[in-house]
Structure 1
Amino acid sequence: MSRVSTKAMLWAYRFGVGALTPAASALLHWRRSRGKEDPTRLGERRGHAGRARPEGPLAWLHGASVGETLAILPLVERLTRRGIAVLVTSGTRTSAQVIARRLPPGAIHQYVPLDVPIYVRRFLDHWRPDIALFAESEIWPNFIVALERRNIPLVLVNARLSERSFRRWSKVPDAAETLLSRFACCLAQTPADAERLQRLGAPRVSVAGNLKFDAPPPPADPRTVASLQALTAGRPVWLAASTHPGEEEIAIAVHRALAKRFAGLITIVAPRHPQRGAEIAAIARESGLRPARRSEGLQPDRATDLYIADTIGEMGLLYRLAPLVFVGGSLVPHGGQNPIEPAKLGVAVLHGPHVHNFTDVYAALDNAGGARPVADARALAGALSELLADAGTVRTMGRRGTEAVERLGGALERTVRAIDPFLVGLVRGEG
């Protein structure tokens, strides 16, 4: 593809998206009807600001969803301590609810607008960021072009590019290079990510590591932790965290098999999408189990077999309640969910074979003995049967997992050093 045709393709994208603005508005209303958008803040998705712009220098940090926004929290805190106001954007209701509880003073949250020219222009006209930092693999053509035109430096932090995404971008190499070349620098999580970005034409790439290793463990109210620990005292407990459709049925089948050996066993299921709580409860009842849903204000009493934690922002509580966790998205071909948070809290980790979203993290945990792979439902039941009867091994796994993720820290310092040249003028008031 020639440079001319690349420009034509990008122009066609920008023109086409602009022409489809009415369709974008209809899409937002459809998403709102499905509970995927916050009806009170829908204007933010069209670029209408929900807050006033703070005075002085402003850094804009963007993460797509919960994992990305939580990973950049330490960076947000560093910037606010330097006197730079921070705008954090994300695109999901869950991320907004979680991040609202954890943003430091000097930082505010907004929903990111759709990548529609008029929305982008409206957003940038109001916020006027002095620097933009996008997390992981957020590459939006209209935003990238608009930031360059306004001479706003754009940095890709905690950059990740999977082999699948690399193959997709490789089909349009000139387009990839045209967009990536507009980033002031790209700070990759791993050498493999860095190599893929460089092969696509990113000109200034370095390996900074994964910011998720430097993020603090999820918090929890000590009183709530103590209360739930008292309710489950003396009972074997395990957690199926961030589960996807198909994995709840596995957790229920495993519970039924293990309950014959472990009297009073309680299985906690925290679905990746909490709105599926009612569906999971129905599956449990059909299987002869007695479920209780946390979203309904219920507690795990002696009659509860399956405790469904269908709430938002409580993973810190759950990881402190169960010493042993199966991390979901890994027994179905999703690619796995992030195991760093339970490892930081000393929880022993089990996972399935589908972990390509976090290949290096799981490899480090497995090699250190902090995590253990299981091939299928039968292997999960076998591993749980062994570990529920061996508290010493569970504690050892938890300790080794914590040590493994601590050894992999340092990305925050490397990231701060890399972006510091862009921040010096802002701190001095020159931005």
Structure 2
Amino acid sequence: MLLYNIGIKLYSLFIHFAALFNNKAKLWVTGRKNIAFVRIESCIWFHFASLGEFEQGRPILEAMRSLHSGKKIVITFFSPSGYEIRKNTPLADYVYYLPLDTAQKARKFIDAINPEIIIFTKYEYWFHFFNEAHKRKIPLYIVSGIFRSGQVFFKWYGSFNRKILSLVSHFFLQDETSVQLLQGIGVTNTSVSGDTRFDRVWANAQNPKVLPLIEEFKNGHKLFIAGSTWPQDETLLAKLVSQYPDWKFIFAPHEIPEEKINNLVAMLPEGKAIRFSQFSEVKGERLKAKGEANQSLTSNLQSLIIDNIGMLSSLYAYADIAYIGGGFGVGIHNTLEAAAFGLPVIFGPNYQKFNEAKELIFIKAGFSISNETELKDIVDTLVSDDIFYNATRKKVFNYVKENVGATEMIMKYIDK
């Protein structure tokens, strides 16, 4: 435990130093300063590492909100990318940054909110918070958990980390492999419920938002959407834009600072790319003009860059092919949002930590590429072979549909 506590202190020092020149780190630090936790008689506490985990756990959150409307709900986030976007969510009564995991802060926080149950999504195992809940006999659940053999829990030096796992009341796991790994270290309070992300993306696809500006931009053309992209992805995709002049392209970068948006615009064919915010403003002005001038603007554009957060999951409803970014970095982003609409999904080589990506590849409905040539080859095939394209879409759609149901299983267990 001593090394763990030292590590927490060192992390705090590092993040405070990084806050001097990194905006995300600055938000992390300032968001945790002088938090006045509201004292609550009792609540249901949900914790999410970031925005992705919030969307993953959202079906459970919505079910709890619906079935236990009289209960207060508290949400905590570790990352600014979750907190800053969802701090005003109507699904919670209180939203906070998770305090740093020290024994004193854990006691203070749990004293304030008095949780009846605690639900963590996918991962993040904080010893002092877990230990405090365990001492107070507060049920603590992990939902959509997943484990890999290379993790520290399964190493000879991971005894302290295994101790953290022993403080969890029940693990709702994504797959049987995770069950076997945990059983191998003596953790048996597990069940395979699947991944709640399937429930979330399926619900979203059944009731997609209508986006008139996207319909106007598409204008009857085939549409390629690149979601959660990084510069490495965009370098490859920019060349694809020139190779498919009859297609429309939408880029939704993972990060949207001014400099990165400008760099992306500069990569694309000159005069044929526009930001969503600019497109929205121009369309608003031209609606006052004649329809002919309005149509001319849409026809001349080929690429639209989304310079806001929150639209991506609805954009896929208008797409014909999707590319998911992150595969040339630490790992791909959410393929399921696109798959729920039956879209063939393409992504980079770093996908091994994501079950759904491996399963999509196995059923030949997802495609990993490592370079420009491989990207063009798979897009050429999808575009030119209607039989292959339609069969791929059917396989993707059925894959998502068949994996829905984790929320119901988890809720039955927790409510019992």
How would you bin the TM-score normalised by the shorter chain? 0.7 to 0.9
Provide the aligned C-alpha RMSD in A: 3.1
Q: Distance in 2 between matches of 1:392 and 1:28?
A: 55
Counterpart for residue 211 of structure 1:
196
Counterpart for residue 266 of structure 1:
248
Greater Cα offset, 79-88 or 186-195: 79-88
Return the match for 1:85 from 64, 72, 75.
Answer: 72
5 Å-filtered alignment, 1:136-215, equals 136-166=122-152, 169-215=154-200
2:50 matched to 1:65?
yes
Return the match for 1:13 from 4, 15, 22.
Answer: 4
Q: Percent identity of the aligned residues?
A: 21
Counterpart for residue 212 of structure 2:
226
Q: Distance in 2 between matches of 1:124 and 1:33?
A: 33
Greater Cα offset, 336-345 or 169-178: 169-178
1:107–1:78 Cα change, 3 Å: farther
2:306 matched to 1:309?
yes
Counterpart for residue 7 of structure 1:
none
Counterpart for residue 344 of structure 2:
348
Q: Distance in 1 between matches of 2:165 and 2:56?
A: 22
Residues 249-302 of structure 1: CA distance to partner in whole angstroms, max 9, x if unpaired?
Answer: 11112222x13xx33x33222122233x53243254256544322355657844
| 1:177 and 1:201 in contact (8 A); partners too | no
Counterpart for residue 113 of structure 1:
99
| 1:293 and 1:307 in contact (8 A); partners too | yes
Counterpart for residue 427 of structure 1:
none
| 1:242 and 1:329 in contact (8 A); partners too | yes
Greater Cα offset, 90-99 or 65-74: 90-99
Q: Distance in 1 between matches of 2:376 and 2:357?
A: 20
| 1:353 and 1:374 in contact (8 A); partners too | yes
1:395–1:101 Cα change, 3 Å: farther
1:43–1:97 Cα change, 3 Å: closer
Question: CA offset at residue 369 of structure 1?
Answer: 4.7
Counterpart for residue 96 of structure 1:
83
| 1:268 and 1:309 in contact (8 A); partners too | yes
- Whichever residue aligns with residue 278 of structure 1, its letter is E
Return the match for 1:327 from 309, 324, 342.
Answer: 324
Secondary structure (helix, strand or coil) at the match of 1:45 reads coil
Question: CA offset at residue 220 of structure 1?
Answer: 5.6
Question: CA offset at residue 199 of structure 1?
Answer: 2.6
5 Å-filtered alignment, 1:222-301, equals 222=210, 225-256=211-242, 258-259=243-244, 262-263=245-246, 265-275=247-257, 278-285=259-266, 288-290=269-271, 291-295=273-277, 301=298
Question: CA offset at residue 336 of structure 1?
Answer: 1.9
Question: CA offset at residue 85 of structure 1?
Answer: 2.6
Question: CA offset at residue 107 of structure 1?
Answer: 4.6
Question: CA offset at residue 181 of structure 1?
Answer: 0.9
Structure 1: gaps (5+ residues): 1-9, 422-431
- Whichever residue aligns with residue 85 of structure 1, its letter is K
2:390 matched to 1:402?
no
Residues 337-388 of structure 1: CA distance to partner in whole angstroms, max 9, x if unpaired?
Answer: 22111111232222333211213x1243344454334343212112223334
1:228–1:132 Cα change, 3 Å: same
- Whichever residue aligns with residue 61 of structure 1, its letter is F
Q: Distance in 1 between matches of 2:13 and 2:338?
A: 39
| 1:89 and 1:110 in contact (8 A); partners too | yes
1:356–1:46 Cα change, 3 Å: farther
Q: Distance in 1 between matches of 2:34 and 2:2?
A: 21
TM-score, normalised by the number of residues in structure 1: 0.80
TM-score, normalised by the number of residues in structure 2: 0.83
Q: Distance in 2 between matches of 1:349 and 1:113?
A: 37
Q: Distance in 2 between matches of 1:121 and 1:221?
A: 42
| 1:340 and 1:405 in contact (8 A); partners too | yes
Return the match for 1:48 from 15, 26, 35.
Answer: 35
Residues 230-252 of structure 1: CA distance to partner in whole angstroms, max 9, x if unpaired?
Answer: 22213332011112231111111
Counterpart for residue 378 of structure 1:
373
Return the match for 2:15 from 27, 42, 59.
Answer: 27
- Whichever residue aligns with residue 231 of structure 2, its letter is P
Q: Number of residue pairs matched? A: 395
Q: Distance in 1 between matches of 2:56 and 2:234?
A: 27
Q: Distance in 1 between matches of 2:190 and 2:14?
A: 38
Counterpart for residue 130 of structure 1:
116
| 2:238 and 2:267 in contact (8 A); partners too | no
Counterpart for residue 414 of structure 2:
419
Residues 37-62 of structure 1: CA distance to partner in whole angstroms, max 9, x if unpaired?
Answer: 685x9665357246x3555x411111
Secondary structure (helix, strand or coil) at the match of 1:227 reads helix
| 1:47 and 1:113 in contact (8 A); partners too | no
- Whichever residue aligns with residue 124 of structure 2, its letter is E
Q: Distance in 2 between matches of 1:60 and 1:392?
A: 48
1:72–1:49 Cα change, 3 Å: farther
Residues 74-127 of structure 1: CA distance to partner in whole angstroms, max 9, x if unpaired?
Answer: 1112212232332122223332354457643x5543222222334323322211
| 2:344 and 2:366 in contact (8 A); partners too | yes
Question: CA offset at residue 217 of structure 1?
Answer: 2.0
